[in-house]
């Protein structure tokens, strides 16, 4: 063993204790009864209560017995490994650019040089978003998925996976809707022309794990995220009760679900979108596959009518999801040097901690 850099020792001492015991980690929710749901049963009511509790206290939970076949997931996990193992030259053939935000990128080529990862983004549906963040410009563009030549089954495997994970997304949206005291299908209409997309993340081993993060602290901007992580682990969630970073222990075949900014706004802050980040590993590479569930570009996001009233007035002004999305993508690509657009910019009253 060589000498340990004193800066590293200090950092280790200041690391939050990893307290992921059963009682302190994010909740694990069993969805098996959804294969034959009886909405009036105590079991079903208990499930809705668990979703409500987890969304309110953590903003994060894991689901098991979710209905996505393990073979479908194994196939896409293998395709991700095969794709990222290609020479950079080959991966660069499907590199994203300023016009089209789908494709391959590594963080060497964006302003976000601190994230230690490479990414492949695509959608399987045709997705339109505004060309420009300017409110008066109504032009739309289609985002085009780019498919690599290798592995040859990439597209087919991805389409099969999205088909399954999308079914899970509707089950979750319905449970969340019920948990907010709304009709089961209240949220479904927002996803008719959805702008959801799938991302493959590859976090290579990092020689100085104390200096980098796989992904820095952030909140997800969309409605829901459905994440498949492998057995390496690295995802940490900021616990609402005390602000500690809590390690999310990999559970084989489970999905990690988090509510994004849009559900925070729809629920008028009842379910908050929670910060999370990814630690890198010095020895093992890590793969993760999030599915970002996003509404149609023309959706005006605002607290739902049934939720706001005199005692609970709307905490946000309506904002257009397509414009929000395009503003984010544009500023991620260009080094604008300005703060990224955030939902709190649409708060009706600013609180002191913002
Ligand atoms: C993300 C994210 C977590 C992970 O891509 O937004 O939070 O474990 N990823 O890769
Ligand atoms: Ni995230």
Write the residue with the smallest CA distance to atom 10 of ligand 1: 288
The dihedral through the CA atoms of 319, 276, 264, 42 has a sign that is: positive
pLDDT mean over 260-285:
95
Compare 344 and 37 and report the one with higher pLDDT.
344
Instruction: Identify the pLDDT of residue 4.
Output: 37
Q: Is residue 127 within 8 Å of 197, Cβ to Cβ?
A: yes
Report the distance separating Cα 295 and Cα 86, nearest Å: 33
Q: Which of 280, 290, 328 to mutate to test the pocket of ligand 1 (most atoms within 8 A of CB)?
A: 290
Least confident of 62-66, 106-110, 157-161, 256-260: 106-110
Instruction: Identify the pLDDT of residue 110.
Output: 52
pLDDT mean over 12-36:
68
* Angle at which helices 154-179 and 42-57 cross, to 10°: 100
Compare 25 and 82 and report the one with higher pLDDT.
82
> pLDDT tier at 333 (50, 70, 90 boundaries)?
low
- pTM exceeds 0.95: no
Backbone angles phi, psi at 259, to 5 degrees: -80, 135
pLDDT digits (tens, 9 = 90+) for 117-155: 999 999 988 899 999 999 899 999 999 999 999 999 999
Q: In terms of C-beta density within 10 A (0-12 exposed, 13-18 middle, 19 or more buried), how is residue 176 classed?
A: buried
| pLDDT higher than threshold 80 for residue 166 | yes
Instruction: Identify the pLDDT of residue 24.
Output: 67
pLDDT digits (tens, 9 = 90+) for 34-87: 988 788 899 999 999 999 999 999 999 999 999 999 999 999 999 999 999 999
Instruction: Identify the pLDDT of residue 337.
Output: 55
Report the distance separating Cα 297 and Cα 50, nearest Å: 31
What does DSSP assign to residue 343?
G
Q: In terms of C-beta density within 10 A (0-12 exposed, 13-18 middle, 19 or more buried), how is residue 184 classed?
A: middle
Pocket of ligand 1 (CB under 6 A): 199, 201, 215, 220, 227, 229, 235, 276, 278, 288, 290
Centroid of ligand 1 to alpha carbon of 218 (angstroms)? 9
Looking at ligand 1, which atom is closest to the CA of residue 201?
10
Q: Is residue 269 within 8 Å of 351, Cβ to Cβ?
A: no
Instruction: Identify the pLDDT of residue 109.
Output: 54
Q: Is residue 127 within 8 Å of 100, Cβ to Cβ?
A: no
Radius of gyration, CA atoms only, the chain: 20
Non-local (6+) Cβ contacts of 280 within 8 A are 116, 203, 205, 206, 209, 212, 213, 214, 234, 286
Q: Which residue ranges make up each domain of the chain?
A: 6-346
Looking at ligand 1, which atom is closest to the CA of residue 248?
8
Mean pLDDT of the chain: 88
The alpha helices in 153-194, defined as continuous H runs, are: 154-179
| pLDDT higher than threshold 70 for residue 108 | no
Centroid of ligand 2 to alpha carbon of 333 (angstroms)? 18
Compare 208 and 333 and report the one with higher pLDDT.
208
Looking at ligand 1, which atom is closest to the CA of residue 220?
6
> What CATH number is given for 6-346 in this structure?
2.60.120.330
Instruction: Identify the pLDDT of residue 36.
Output: 86
Looking at ligand 1, which atom is closest to the CA of residue 292?
6
Instruction: Identify the pLDDT of residue 181.
Output: 97
What does DSSP assign to residue 292?
E
């Amino acid at each position: 063993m060589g000498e340990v850099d004193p800066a590293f020792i200090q950092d280790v001492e200041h690391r939050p204790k990893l307290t992921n015991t059963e009682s302190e980690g994010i909740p694990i929710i069993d969805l098996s009864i959804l294969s034959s749901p009886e909405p009036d049963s105590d079991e079903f009511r208990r499930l809705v209560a668990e979703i409500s509790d987890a969304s309110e206290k953590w903003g994060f939970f894991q689901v098991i017995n979710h209905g996505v076949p393990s073979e479908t997931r194994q196939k896409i996990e293998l395709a991700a490994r095969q794709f990222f193992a290609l020479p950079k030259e080959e991966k660069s053939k499907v590199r994203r650019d300023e016009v089209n935000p789908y494709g391959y990128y590594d963080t060497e080529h964006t302003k976000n040089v601190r994230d230690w990862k490479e990414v492949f983004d695509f959608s399987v549906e045709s997705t339109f978003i505004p060309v420009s963040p300017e409110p008066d410009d109504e032009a739309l563009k289609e985002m085009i998925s780019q498919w690599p030549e290798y592995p040859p089954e990439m597209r087919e495997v991805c389409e099969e996976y999205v088909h399954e994970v999308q079914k899970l997304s509707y089950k979750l949206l319905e449970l969340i809707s019920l948990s907010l005291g709304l009709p089961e299908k209240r949220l479904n209409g927002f996803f008719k022309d959805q702008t959801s997309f799938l991302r493959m993340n590859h976090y290579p081993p990092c020689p100085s794990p104390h200096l980098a993060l796989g992904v820095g602290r952030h909140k997800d901007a969309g409605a829901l995220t459905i994440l498949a992580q492998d057995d390496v682990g690295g995802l940490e969630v900021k616990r609402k009760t005390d602000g500690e970073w809590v390690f999310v222990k990999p559970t084989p075949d489970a999905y990690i679900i988090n509510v994004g900014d849009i559900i925070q706004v729809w629920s008028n802050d009842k379910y908050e979108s929670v910060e999370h980040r990814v630690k890198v590993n010095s020895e093992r590479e890590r793969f993760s596959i999030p599915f970002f569930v996003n509404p149609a570009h023309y959706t005006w996001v605002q607290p739902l009518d049934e939720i706001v009233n005199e005692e609970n007035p709307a905490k946000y002004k309506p904002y257009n999801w397509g414009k929000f999305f395009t503003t984010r993508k544009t500023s991620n690509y260009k080094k604008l040097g300005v703060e990224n657009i955030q939902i709190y910019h649409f708060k009706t009253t600013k609180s002191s901690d913002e």
